[in-house]
Chain A
């Protein structure tokens, strides 16, 4: 990944870079002719290295790799957490194929993904282009658009139910002002997912905007200058020069937002709790409900593995597709 790599603040680079600097071991180990001393030295190096990384390593692997394996074992069982677990082989996975509720949860998740991913990428691109200029108040505009990024799902949920309240919400008041009919919003099964998408965009537009903004500023100015001299109008410059330069960011943002969208849970929990009439029940909401409300740990784990597989396939798919089109995001 070239344009999309994490933007870690870098220190003043040394003129030599890091490559030609002699390795530390050779500095201190120089002249140790005695093989026993050298072995002692390498043992000390190993212990020292592991002492640095072990605390974090143990926590991270203990809380991810170990539970991931355990989840797979759980997915082969029927277990409510209290009684004896029963081994059922792949029955849980087979049951997923005929589970109507899971299939509708899948459909709702896909609807949300289809709504959220393109809009968040396009909105980010649009806002980045708009914000990438030195004009008056630009700092103010930027702050207003970026600050919702700190809003939690809990806070966003409360704000959503308030702003979109059918009885007194601001949105219906605006409609009223224009003499338009009031809408049900979160209480309407056809609109609730759209409302959730809008508020997700409010909270997360900053992310796609920031990565596009960074990429825009990396585009060499003489490239744009050359296009202008060749007589391209601003619109042509954007689509034929700027947009292709942003392709790696677009791929990265798309993959990232797909992964986020597929995992939608908390904004659903804080707004509709899956309603109305199950219209916003997503896969993760269904998973949470199966595992922690119905205490079906085995089936919940199987659904989680299914979700993992789908996420992985989509990520690999998008990556391969973009490699074919000669765009490297990673």
Chain B
């Protein structure tokens, strides 16, 4: 999507060059307000403990210290949790790309009995709220021994109805001539899919990957229910538990917050356009 690139009327653009727009008076304060929580997060993570309990506190710390980070790495399993979340998100993204693309392609291009029914069944599940599924899924996972293991956090993220819908919409919009030529040349469907279709689907795959990354990285409710063993904690679950245990050690808590959030912030800054495309695709969060 071209939110970032398309331009309003040219007249307006010409005018913008003549004098500074009055909209700065609106946008600058709003942007600062939106930036403050993250700025405070970074600053507090490098503020000495003595400065934090001072009132009124200075916005910028008097000295910078990494004590919060040292304490965090010493006294919590944050690196283990970071690794766990990285594993969950990596598997989720990979599995989403493979399974949702295959299914999306199948529903978009192949003709087989029950295709419409299967697709409608999948789209129908979007209506079911996750709250309805928590209890039976918990029981199901405890029966098969997944509860308290990292697998419990991974399995619900292997594929999603949203992902299939996204990929199907994309494949429907692709011209069919390319695949037909390859099929006549004797390629199998799977070869066509992996060699011709997937490389063309990069923009849709980027959207799918970001959607899955955001959801799986930030998920809290399900790990909270399914994982009680701190060796299998995800990052979000870890810092939330830590928050309960260390209510007042703010530089340490904020250091944990930075570890949990910085990867996504950096990723956002590097791939802002793709993120915005994903955002407008679904408001899924948390």
User: Which A residues are within 8 Å of any B CB, using their own CB?
Assistant: 6-11, 13-14, 16, 18, 21-25, 27-28, 45-53, 55-57, 59-61, 63-68, 70-71, 74, 81, 127, 130-159, 161-163, 167-168, 170, 173, 176-177, 199, 202-208, 210-211, 213-214, 217, 221, 224-225, 256-257, 259-260, 263, 265-267, 269-270, 284, 287-288, 291-292, 297, 300-301, 304-305, 307-308, 311-312
Q: Which residues of A have CB within 8 Å of B100?
A: 56
Are B207 and A59 touching (Cβ within 8 A)? no
Are A308 and B132 touching (Cβ within 8 A)? yes
Are A24 and B179 touching (Cβ within 8 A)? yes
Bound together, the chains give a CA A156 to CA B21 distance in angstroms of 33
Are A71 and B158 touching (Cβ within 8 A)? no
Bound together, the chains give a CA A127 to CA B27 distance in angstroms of 8
Contact residue among B9, B16, B176, B200 (Cβ-Cβ distance under 8 Å from A24): B176
Q: List 29 A-B contacts (CB under 8 A).
A: A6-B282, A7-B277, A9-B170, A9-B206, A14-B177, A25-B111, A49-B110, A53-B102, A59-B99, A64-B133, A67-B133, A68-B133, A70-B139, A70-B140, A71-B132, A127-B30, A133-B8, A134-B13, A138-B27, A144-B32, A147-B35, A149-B268, A155-B239, A158-B253, A159-B257, A162-B40, A173-B57, A266-B286, A308-B131
Interface membership of chain B positions 183-201, coded 1 if the CB is closer than 8 angstroms to chain A and 0 otherwise: 1100001000100000010
Q: Which residues of B have CB within 8 Å of A56?
A: 99-100, 102-103, 122, 159, 163-164
Are A27 and B180 touching (Cβ within 8 A)? yes
Are A52 and B137 touching (Cβ within 8 A)? no
Interface size class of B (residues with CB under 8 A): 35 or more
Q: Which residues of A have CB within 8 Å of B225?
A: 288, 292
Q: Which interface residue of A52, A136, A170 has the most chain B CB atoms within 10 A?
A: A52
Q: Does B106 contact A (CB under 8 A)?
A: yes
Q: How far is the CB of B278 from chain A (nearest CB, A)?
A: 9
Q: Which interface residue of A13, A14, A150, A168 has the most chain B CB atoms within 10 A?
A: A150
Contact residue among A9, A177, A265 (Cβ-Cβ distance under 8 Å from B207): A9
Are B1 and A71 touching (Cβ within 8 A)? no
Q: Which residues of B have CB within 8 Å of A134?
A: 7-8, 12-13, 16
Bound together, the chains give a CA A63 to CA B53 distance in angstroms of 47
Chain B interface, DSSP helix/strand/loop, else mixed:
helix
Are A221 and B277 touching (Cβ within 8 A)? no
Q: How far is the CB of A311 from chain B (nearest CB, A)?
A: 6
Q: What 15 new A-B contacts, CB under 8 Å, besides A144-B35, A154-B220, A266-B286?
A: A11-B170, A11-B174, A24-B176, A56-B102, A57-B121, A68-B128, A132-B8, A136-B20, A152-B220, A153-B236, A158-B253, A158-B254, A168-B53, A259-B129, A291-B134
Bound together, the chains give a CA A205 to CA B182 distance in angstroms of 46
Q: Which residues of A have CB within 8 Å of B232?
A: none
Q: How far is the CB of B186 from chain A (nearest CB, A)?
A: 11
Are B177 and A145 touching (Cβ within 8 A)? no
Q: Which residues of A have CB within 8 Å of B264?
A: 150
Bound together, the chains give a CA A11 to CA B267 distance in angstroms of 24
Bound together, the chains give a CA A202 to CA B57 distance in angstroms of 23
Bound together, the chains give a CA A7 to CA B281 distance in angstroms of 6
Q: Which of B60-68, B70-78, B112-120 contacts A (4 or more CB under 8 A)?
A: B112-120
User: Which B residues are within 8 Å of any A CB, using their own CB?
Assistant: 1-4, 6-9, 12-13, 16, 20-21, 23-24, 26-28, 30-32, 34-38, 40-41, 44, 52-57, 99-100, 102-103, 105-107, 109-115, 118, 121-122, 124-125, 127-140, 155-156, 158-161, 163-166, 169-170, 172-177, 179-180, 183-184, 189, 193, 200, 203-204, 206-207, 214, 217-218, 220-221, 224-225, 236-237, 239-240, 243, 250, 253-254, 256-257, 260-261, 264-265, 267-269, 272, 275-277, 279-283, 285-286
Bound together, the chains give a CA A11 to CA B206 distance in angstroms of 13
With A24-B183, A63-B156, A154-B239 as known contacts, state yes or no: A81 contacts B139, CB within 8 Å.
yes
Q: Which residues of B have CB within 8 Å of A163?
A: 36-37, 40
Are B129 and A263 touching (Cβ within 8 A)? yes
Contact residue among B26, B109, B250 (Cβ-Cβ distance under 8 Å from A162): B250
Bound together, the chains give a CA A288 to CA B135 distance in angstroms of 9
Are A57 and B118 touching (Cβ within 8 A)? yes
With A45-B111, A61-B121, A176-B56 as known contacts, state yes or no: A21 contacts B177, CB within 8 Å.
yes
Q: How far is the CB of A57 from chain B (nearest CB, A)?
A: 6
Q: How far is the CB of B217 from chain A (nearest CB, A)?
A: 7
Bound together, the chains give a CA A24 to CA B16 distance in angstroms of 53
Contact residue among A141, A157, A167, A173 (Cβ-Cβ distance under 8 Å from B240): A157
With A6-B282, A24-B179, A143-B272 as known contacts, state yes or no: A49 contacts B115, CB within 8 Å.
yes
